[in-house]
Amino acid sequence: MKIIALSGLTSHVGCSSVCAALAYSMSMLTKFCLCTEARFNLDRPTLSPFFGVEDSDCGYLKALKNHLEFDSQELKSPILFKVSDTLYYLNQGTLEDSNNQEISFEQHNAQDLASSLIDSLHKNTALDFAFIDVGTVDNDFKKTLVEKADVDLTIIEADSNCLVRLNNATLRNRQLLLINKVIQSSQSMNNVVLLLQNSKLKDKILNAEICFDESVLSANLNQAPFTRFFPVSSSTDDIERLCFEIIELCHKKDLFGDESKNTLTDSLNQDQNSLTVNNLTVNTEAQHS
Protein backbone atom coordinates (compact mmCIF):
# COMPACT_ATOMS: atom_id res chain seq x y z
CA MET A 1 0.00 0.00 0.00
CA LYS A 2 1.30 3.42 -0.95
CA ILE A 3 0.57 6.71 0.81
CA ILE A 4 0.34 9.84 -1.34
CA ALA A 5 0.59 13.16 0.53
CA LEU A 6 -0.70 16.12 -1.47
CA SER A 7 0.37 19.56 -0.28
CA GLY A 8 0.11 23.04 -1.75
CA LEU A 9 3.03 25.34 -2.47
CA THR A 10 0.62 28.10 -1.42
CA SER A 11 -3.00 28.15 -0.35
CA HIS A 12 -5.85 28.01 -2.87
CA VAL A 13 -3.96 26.02 -5.50
CA GLY A 14 -6.64 23.30 -5.66
CA CYS A 15 -5.06 20.74 -3.34
CA SER A 16 -8.38 19.42 -1.97
CA SER A 17 -10.14 19.19 -5.33
CA VAL A 18 -7.18 17.38 -6.92
CA CYS A 19 -6.92 15.01 -3.94
CA ALA A 20 -10.63 14.13 -4.11
CA ALA A 21 -10.58 13.71 -7.90
CA LEU A 22 -7.40 11.63 -7.78
CA ALA A 23 -8.76 9.27 -5.11
CA TYR A 24 -12.04 8.84 -6.96
CA SER A 25 -10.37 8.19 -10.33
CA MET A 26 -7.88 5.75 -8.83
CA SER A 27 -10.74 3.85 -7.19
CA MET A 28 -12.43 3.58 -10.59
CA LEU A 29 -9.35 1.65 -11.76
CA THR A 30 -10.41 -1.07 -9.27
CA LYS A 31 -7.80 0.14 -6.79
CA PHE A 32 -8.91 0.16 -3.15
CA CYS A 33 -8.35 3.72 -1.98
CA LEU A 34 -8.70 5.76 1.18
CA CYS A 35 -8.87 9.54 1.31
CA THR A 36 -8.35 11.76 4.34
CA GLU A 37 -7.07 15.19 5.26
CA ALA A 38 -4.76 16.94 7.70
CA ARG A 39 -6.13 20.45 7.92
CA PHE A 40 -4.83 23.09 10.30
CA ASN A 41 -8.08 24.99 10.84
CA LEU A 42 -10.25 22.34 12.46
CA ASP A 43 -13.39 24.46 12.05
CA ARG A 44 -13.23 24.41 8.25
CA PRO A 45 -13.49 20.94 6.72
CA THR A 46 -12.38 20.99 3.10
CA LEU A 47 -12.41 17.40 1.92
CA SER A 48 -15.37 15.65 3.53
CA PRO A 49 -18.04 17.57 1.55
CA PHE A 50 -16.59 16.20 -1.69
CA PHE A 51 -17.64 12.72 -0.57
CA GLY A 52 -20.96 13.65 0.99
CA VAL A 53 -19.66 12.97 4.50
CA GLU A 54 -20.76 15.16 7.41
CA ASP A 55 -17.75 16.24 9.42
CA SER A 56 -17.69 15.23 13.09
CA ASP A 57 -15.42 15.49 16.12
CA CYS A 58 -14.80 11.75 16.08
CA GLY A 59 -11.91 10.83 13.82
CA TYR A 60 -8.43 9.40 13.53
CA LEU A 61 -6.92 12.11 15.78
CA LYS A 62 -8.85 10.84 18.81
CA ALA A 63 -8.14 7.23 17.87
CA LEU A 64 -4.41 7.86 17.66
CA LYS A 65 -4.34 9.97 20.83
CA ASN A 66 -6.09 7.18 22.75
CA HIS A 67 -3.95 4.49 21.10
CA LEU A 68 -6.92 2.90 19.40
CA GLU A 69 -6.51 0.92 16.19
CA PHE A 70 -8.59 1.76 13.15
CA ASP A 71 -6.88 -0.61 10.75
CA SER A 72 -8.82 -3.62 9.54
CA GLN A 73 -8.59 -6.16 6.76
CA GLU A 74 -12.26 -5.57 6.05
CA LEU A 75 -12.03 -1.77 6.29
CA LYS A 76 -14.71 -1.50 8.97
CA SER A 77 -14.45 1.30 11.51
CA PRO A 78 -16.79 3.95 12.95
CA ILE A 79 -14.53 6.68 11.56
CA LEU A 80 -14.25 5.12 8.08
CA PHE A 81 -17.00 6.01 5.61
CA LYS A 82 -17.65 3.90 2.54
CA VAL A 83 -18.01 6.14 -0.52
CA SER A 84 -18.08 3.30 -3.05
CA ASP A 85 -17.04 -0.34 -3.25
CA THR A 86 -13.41 0.73 -3.71
CA LEU A 87 -13.24 4.15 -2.04
CA TYR A 88 -13.30 5.08 1.66
CA TYR A 89 -13.10 8.38 3.51
CA LEU A 90 -11.32 8.58 6.88
CA ASN A 91 -12.55 11.41 9.10
CA GLN A 92 -9.93 13.51 10.85
CA GLY A 93 -11.96 14.73 13.80
CA THR A 94 -10.52 16.90 16.57
CA LEU A 95 -8.16 16.64 19.53
CA GLU A 96 -9.55 17.23 23.03
CA ASP A 97 -8.04 17.40 26.48
CA SER A 98 -9.36 15.73 29.64
CA ASN A 99 -11.99 18.48 29.99
CA ASN A 100 -13.28 17.86 26.44
CA GLN A 101 -11.79 21.17 25.29
CA GLU A 102 -10.38 21.23 21.77
CA ILE A 103 -6.61 21.53 21.60
CA SER A 104 -4.28 22.26 18.71
CA PHE A 105 -1.54 20.11 17.23
CA GLU A 106 1.07 22.26 18.97
CA GLN A 107 -0.36 21.22 22.35
CA HIS A 108 0.19 17.57 21.56
CA ASN A 109 3.12 15.61 20.17
CA ALA A 110 2.40 16.35 16.52
CA GLN A 111 5.28 14.28 15.14
CA ASP A 112 4.22 11.16 17.04
CA LEU A 113 0.61 11.61 15.90
CA ALA A 114 1.66 11.90 12.26
CA SER A 115 3.96 8.89 12.51
CA SER A 116 1.18 6.85 14.11
CA LEU A 117 -1.19 7.82 11.30
CA ILE A 118 1.28 6.68 8.64
CA ASP A 119 1.93 3.40 10.49
CA SER A 120 -1.79 2.72 10.96
CA LEU A 121 -2.50 3.36 7.28
CA HIS A 122 0.26 0.98 6.24
CA LYS A 123 -1.37 -1.74 8.37
CA ASN A 124 -4.44 -1.57 6.13
CA THR A 125 -3.26 -4.24 3.73
CA ALA A 126 -6.65 -4.24 2.02
CA LEU A 127 -5.81 -0.81 0.59
CA ASP A 128 -3.81 -0.04 -2.54
CA PHE A 129 -3.51 3.73 -2.04
CA ALA A 130 -4.15 6.28 0.69
CA PHE A 131 -4.39 9.96 -0.27
CA ILE A 132 -3.86 12.67 2.35
CA ASP A 133 -4.90 16.27 1.66
CA VAL A 134 -2.20 18.09 3.63
CA GLY A 135 -2.73 21.65 2.38
CA THR A 136 0.12 24.06 3.05
CA VAL A 137 2.91 22.46 5.09
CA ASP A 138 2.86 24.89 8.00
CA ASN A 139 3.21 22.77 11.16
CA ASP A 140 5.12 19.76 12.48
CA PHE A 141 2.18 17.42 11.98
CA LYS A 142 2.08 18.12 8.24
CA LYS A 143 5.86 18.17 7.88
CA THR A 144 6.07 14.68 9.35
CA LEU A 145 3.30 13.43 7.06
CA VAL A 146 5.00 14.56 3.85
CA GLU A 147 8.35 13.24 5.04
CA LYS A 148 7.01 9.78 5.82
CA ALA A 149 4.61 9.42 2.86
CA ASP A 150 5.63 7.21 -0.05
CA VAL A 151 4.99 10.04 -2.50
CA ASP A 152 5.43 13.69 -1.52
CA LEU A 153 3.44 15.62 -4.13
CA THR A 154 3.16 19.41 -4.09
CA ILE A 155 0.53 21.26 -6.12
CA ILE A 156 1.70 24.44 -7.85
CA GLU A 157 0.20 26.90 -10.30
CA ALA A 158 1.76 28.24 -13.49
CA ASP A 159 2.00 31.86 -12.42
CA SER A 160 4.57 34.44 -11.37
CA ASN A 161 3.83 33.85 -7.66
CA CYS A 162 4.80 30.21 -8.11
CA LEU A 163 8.08 31.21 -9.80
CA VAL A 164 8.99 33.57 -6.95
CA ARG A 165 8.26 30.97 -4.28
CA LEU A 166 10.13 28.19 -6.09
CA ASN A 167 13.03 30.59 -6.61
CA ASN A 168 13.37 31.01 -2.84
CA ALA A 169 12.32 27.53 -1.77
CA THR A 170 14.44 24.59 -0.70
CA LEU A 171 12.67 21.51 -1.99
CA ARG A 172 12.44 18.41 0.12
CA ASN A 173 14.53 15.46 -1.01
CA ARG A 174 11.61 13.38 -2.35
CA GLN A 175 9.30 16.27 -3.24
CA LEU A 176 7.56 16.14 -6.62
CA LEU A 177 5.64 18.97 -8.31
CA LEU A 178 2.28 18.88 -10.09
CA ILE A 179 1.18 21.90 -12.14
CA ASN A 180 -2.52 22.62 -11.64
CA LYS A 181 -5.07 25.09 -13.07
CA VAL A 182 -3.31 25.59 -16.40
CA ILE A 183 -5.41 27.68 -18.76
CA GLN A 184 -4.39 26.56 -22.22
CA SER A 185 -5.30 29.88 -23.83
CA SER A 186 -3.01 31.83 -21.46
CA GLN A 187 0.35 32.58 -23.07
CA SER A 188 1.91 33.64 -19.77
CA MET A 189 0.91 30.34 -18.13
CA ASN A 190 2.26 28.34 -21.07
CA ASN A 191 5.52 30.27 -20.76
CA VAL A 192 5.81 29.46 -17.06
CA VAL A 193 5.16 25.77 -17.77
CA LEU A 194 7.82 25.82 -20.48
CA LEU A 195 10.28 27.48 -18.13
CA LEU A 196 9.73 24.86 -15.43
CA GLN A 197 9.95 21.97 -17.87
CA ASN A 198 13.32 23.23 -19.14
CA SER A 199 14.78 24.06 -15.75
CA LYS A 200 16.83 21.92 -13.41
CA LEU A 201 13.58 21.19 -11.60
CA LYS A 202 12.27 19.27 -14.60
CA ASP A 203 13.03 15.90 -12.96
CA LYS A 204 10.76 16.85 -10.05
CA ILE A 205 7.84 17.94 -12.23
CA LEU A 206 5.32 15.25 -13.16
CA ASN A 207 4.51 14.84 -16.84
CA ALA A 208 0.80 15.16 -16.12
CA GLU A 209 -0.54 18.67 -15.66
CA ILE A 210 -4.11 19.62 -14.80
CA CYS A 211 -5.79 22.00 -17.23
CA PHE A 212 -8.51 24.16 -15.75
CA ASP A 213 -11.95 24.03 -17.33
CA GLU A 214 -15.51 24.84 -16.30
CA SER A 215 -16.11 21.29 -15.06
CA VAL A 216 -13.78 21.89 -12.10
CA LEU A 217 -15.59 25.08 -11.10
CA SER A 218 -19.03 23.48 -11.44
CA ALA A 219 -17.98 20.41 -9.46
CA ASN A 220 -16.48 22.51 -6.67
CA LEU A 221 -19.68 24.55 -6.43
CA ASN A 222 -21.60 21.27 -6.08
CA GLN A 223 -19.02 19.85 -3.65
CA ALA A 224 -18.19 16.77 -5.71
CA PRO A 225 -14.98 15.32 -7.20
CA PHE A 226 -14.87 16.79 -10.71
CA THR A 227 -13.92 13.40 -12.14
CA ARG A 228 -17.25 12.11 -10.84
CA PHE A 229 -19.35 15.19 -11.58
CA PHE A 230 -18.01 15.49 -15.15
CA PRO A 231 -16.59 12.08 -16.18
CA VAL A 232 -15.86 13.43 -19.67
CA SER A 233 -13.78 16.61 -19.55
CA SER A 234 -10.26 17.85 -20.17
CA SER A 235 -9.50 18.00 -16.45
CA THR A 236 -10.77 14.46 -15.90
CA ASP A 237 -8.51 13.16 -18.67
CA ASP A 238 -5.56 14.91 -17.01
CA ILE A 239 -6.37 13.29 -13.64
CA GLU A 240 -6.52 9.85 -15.28
CA ARG A 241 -3.08 10.41 -16.79
CA LEU A 242 -1.88 11.43 -13.34
CA CYS A 243 -3.25 8.17 -11.89
CA PHE A 244 -1.18 6.07 -14.27
CA GLU A 245 1.91 8.19 -13.67
CA ILE A 246 1.59 7.71 -9.90
CA ILE A 247 1.13 3.95 -10.36
CA GLU A 248 4.29 3.88 -12.47
CA LEU A 249 6.21 5.94 -9.91
CA CYS A 250 5.19 3.64 -7.08
CA HIS A 251 6.52 0.63 -8.97
CA LYS A 252 9.95 2.14 -9.51
CA LYS A 253 12.64 1.01 -7.09
CA ASP A 254 14.84 4.11 -7.44
CA LEU A 255 12.03 6.61 -7.13
CA PHE A 256 13.85 9.76 -6.14
CA GLY A 257 17.24 11.41 -6.52
CA ASP A 258 19.38 12.92 -3.80
CA GLU A 259 19.14 16.58 -4.76
CA SER A 260 17.25 18.46 -2.06
CA LYS A 261 18.37 22.04 -2.56
CA ASN A 262 17.58 22.71 -6.21
CA THR A 263 16.17 26.17 -6.69
CA LEU A 264 14.92 27.87 -9.81
CA THR A 265 17.86 30.27 -9.64
CA ASP A 266 20.31 27.34 -9.89
CA SER A 267 18.60 26.02 -12.99
CA LEU A 268 18.56 29.39 -14.74
CA ASN A 269 22.21 30.10 -14.02
CA GLN A 270 23.39 26.67 -15.13
CA ASP A 271 22.82 27.06 -18.86
CA GLN A 272 23.19 30.31 -20.77
CA ASN A 273 20.95 28.94 -23.49
CA SER A 274 18.11 28.23 -21.06
CA LEU A 275 15.03 30.43 -20.97
CA THR A 276 15.15 33.35 -18.56
CA VAL A 277 12.53 34.61 -16.19
CA ASN A 278 12.50 38.06 -17.75
CA ASN A 279 11.76 36.71 -21.20
CA LEU A 280 8.87 34.64 -19.95
CA THR A 281 7.16 36.77 -17.35
CA VAL A 282 6.92 40.17 -18.98
CA ASN A 283 3.16 39.69 -19.17
CA THR A 284 2.15 38.52 -15.70
CA GLU A 285 -1.59 38.53 -16.36
CA ALA A 286 -3.23 35.54 -17.99
CA GLN A 287 -4.26 36.17 -21.58
CA HIS A 288 -7.52 34.65 -22.71
CA SER A 289 -8.60 34.07 -26.25
The pLDDT, as a whole number, for residue 101 is 54
- Strand pairing report for 87-90 and 80-84: antiparallel
10 Å CB burial of residue 272 (0-12, 13-18, 19+) is exposed
The pLDDT, as a whole number, for residue 240 is 92
The pLDDT, as a whole number, for residue 141 is 87
What is the SS3 assignment for 22?
helix
Those residues of the chain that have pLDDT short of 50 are: 72-73, 253-289
Query: From CA 22, how far away is CA 235, in angstroms rounded?
Result: 11
Query: From CA 270, how far away is CA 273, in angstroms rounded?
Result: 9
- Using alpha carbons, list the distances in angstroms from residue 277 to 72, 273, 282: 51, 12, 8
Architecture of domain 2-153+213-255: 3-Layer(aba) Sandwich (3.40)
- Strand pairing report for 95-96 and 102-103: antiparallel
Query: From CA 46, how far away is CA 12, in angstroms rounded?
Result: 11
Above pLDDT 70, what percent of the chain?
76
Query: From CA 240, how far away is CA 92, in angstroms rounded?
Result: 27
The pLDDT, as a whole number, for residue 282 is 30
What is the SS3 assignment for 85?
coil
Closest CA to 211 of 191, 239, 182, 187: 182
Query: From CA 271, how far away is CA 180, in angstroms rounded?
Result: 27
Q: Which residues are within 8 A (CB) of 59 and not within 5 positions of it... i.e. 6 or more apart?
A: 79, 90, 91, 92, 93, 94
pLDDT by residue (tens digit) across 225-253?
A: 877 777 778 888 999 999 999 999 888 74
pLDDT by residue (tens digit) across 126-179?
A: 899 999 999 888 888 899 999 999 999 999 998 878 888 887 778 888 899 999
The pLDDT, as a whole number, for residue 57 is 73
The pLDDT, as a whole number, for residue 102 is 53
- Using alpha carbons, list the distances in angstroms from residue 140 to 38, 129, 237: 11, 23, 35
The pLDDT, as a whole number, for residue 254 is 45
Residue 131 near residue 33 (C-beta atoms within 8 A): yes
The pLDDT, as a whole number, for residue 288 is 36
Q: What is the pTM of this model?
A: 0.80
Closest CA to 86 of 125, 48, 29, 132: 29
